[in-house]
């Protein structure tokens, strides 16, 4: 405690510890606030520098599957071996085992998609107000993954893992970024749409775009499950996750879309479509909830969000 007080006294030019026992003068206040600003500027500069280095490395790694894998090896060596003070020959042995067990075309391609998501994450962290405008880029990521679905089969766990907990983020010191509600991975479809795509479309002037955004969300959620859970090309050997989505998730999302449209200006059209939805799916397990929501909406009671 005394040491910190002496340092502060020297900083303020007071000359003695005794002076700190008095009330702050206007000069003291100005000096303290200037010092705080210097500290903040230094910290901000360090963060920007770290972000810049990470961004450059991640963008380089995105250029090809080989580049992504080379960066991955570099990060593994730093985080799991150099930082742990392990021997060089241990890393060489790990690389040999990795080559034999996990180094596949799908793994390398998945790393590229993860790097792209990290770049988006860093951009979002630097300019949070721009997040609602990043929707098209989020959709681009999903569609790129679907385009690569065949080669990526078996990499769902990597693509679904939290990008900020990846070895890339850890190695470059950006794993402590705080972004509330930001999609954790490029397969976090719900959050991608809820945070990046749909919010900017919720105005009466953009009802057509809002509906298209919802339809695209439903399409993507179904395609991801169908592509990676369908065992048979004839569709007869679907796994439970996709079957469950076809029976429940698809209809729940369609209902949520109409509720969202109702709440944002298309009351008549959405209400008519909700009635038709209920007519066709009255035996659905969610029908009682839908009926309750519809009744509240039409009566003008507390409007129901699409998540309720």
Tell me if residue 234 falls in helix, strand or coil: coil
* Predicted local distance difference test score (pLDDT) of residue 308: 42
Q: Is residue 251 part of a domain?
A: yes
pLDDT at position 159 is: 95
**Residue 304 pLDDT level (bands cut at 50, 70, 90):** very low
280's tokens: 């066709």
The crossing angle, in degrees rounded to 10, of helices 267-280 and 250-263 is: 160
Residue 298 lies in a domain: yes
- Tell me if 194 is assigned to some domain: no
**170-215 tens-digit pLDDT:** 999 999 888 888 999 999 999 999 999 999 999 999 999 999 999 9
Structural domain that includes position 232: 205-308
Instruction: State yes or no: pLDDT of 291 exceeds 80.
Output: yes
pLDDT tens readout for residues 244-285:
888 889 999 999 999 999 999 999 999 999 999 999 999 999
Number of structural domains (the chain) is: 1
The answer to the question of residue 240 being in a domain is yes
Residue 255 domain-assigned (yes or no): yes
Q: From residue 63, give the alpha-carbon distance in Å to each of 68, 73, 112, 220.
A: 7, 16, 8, 25
Model confidence at 114, in pLDDT bands (50, 70, 90)? very high
Q: Is 220 inside any structural domain?
A: yes
pTM for the structure as a whole: 0.79
Q: How does pLDDT run across 136-168, given as a tens digit for each residue?
A: 999 999 999 999 999 998 899 999 999 999 999
- 86 found inside a domain: no
The reply to whether 191 falls in a domain is no
């Amino acid at each position: 405690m005394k040491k910190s007080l002496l340092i502060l006294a020297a900083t303020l030019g007071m000359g003695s510890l005794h002076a700190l026992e008095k009330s702050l003068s206007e000069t003291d206040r100005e000096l303290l606030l200037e010092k705080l600003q210097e500290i903040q500027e230094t910290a901000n500069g360090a963060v920007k520098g770290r972000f810049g280095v990470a961004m450059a490395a991640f963008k380089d790694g995105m250029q090809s599957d080989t580049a992504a894998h080379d960066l991955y090896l570099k990060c593994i060596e730093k985080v799991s071996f150099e930082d742990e003070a392990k021997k060089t020959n241990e890393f060489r042995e790990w690389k040999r085992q990795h080559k034999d067990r996990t180094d596949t075309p799908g793994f390398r391609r998945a790393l590229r998609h993860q790097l792209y998501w990290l770049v988006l994450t860093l951009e979002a962290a630097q300019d949070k107000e721009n997040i609602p405008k990043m929707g098209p880029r989020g959709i681009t990521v999903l569609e790129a993954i679907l385009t690569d679905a065949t080669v990526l089969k078996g990499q769902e766990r990597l693509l679904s893992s939290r990008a900020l907990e990846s070895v890339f983020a850890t190695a470059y010191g950006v794993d402590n970024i705080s972004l509330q509600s930001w999609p954790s991975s490029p397969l976090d479809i719900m959050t991608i749409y809820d945070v990046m795509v749909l919010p900017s479309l919720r105005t009466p002037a953009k009802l057509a775009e809002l509906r298209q955004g919802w339809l695209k969300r439903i399409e993507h959620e179904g395609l991801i499950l169908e592509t990676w859970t369908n065992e048979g090309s004839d569709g007869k050997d679907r796994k439970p996750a996709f079957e469950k989505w076809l029976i429940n998730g698809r209809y729940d999302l369609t209902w949520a879309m109409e509720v969202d449209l109702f709440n944002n200006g298309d009351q008549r059209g959405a209400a008519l479509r909700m009635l038709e939805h209920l007519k066709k799916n009255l035996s659905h397990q969610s029908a009682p909830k839908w009926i309750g929501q519809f009744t509240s909406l039409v009566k003008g009671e507390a409007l129901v969000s699409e998540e309720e």
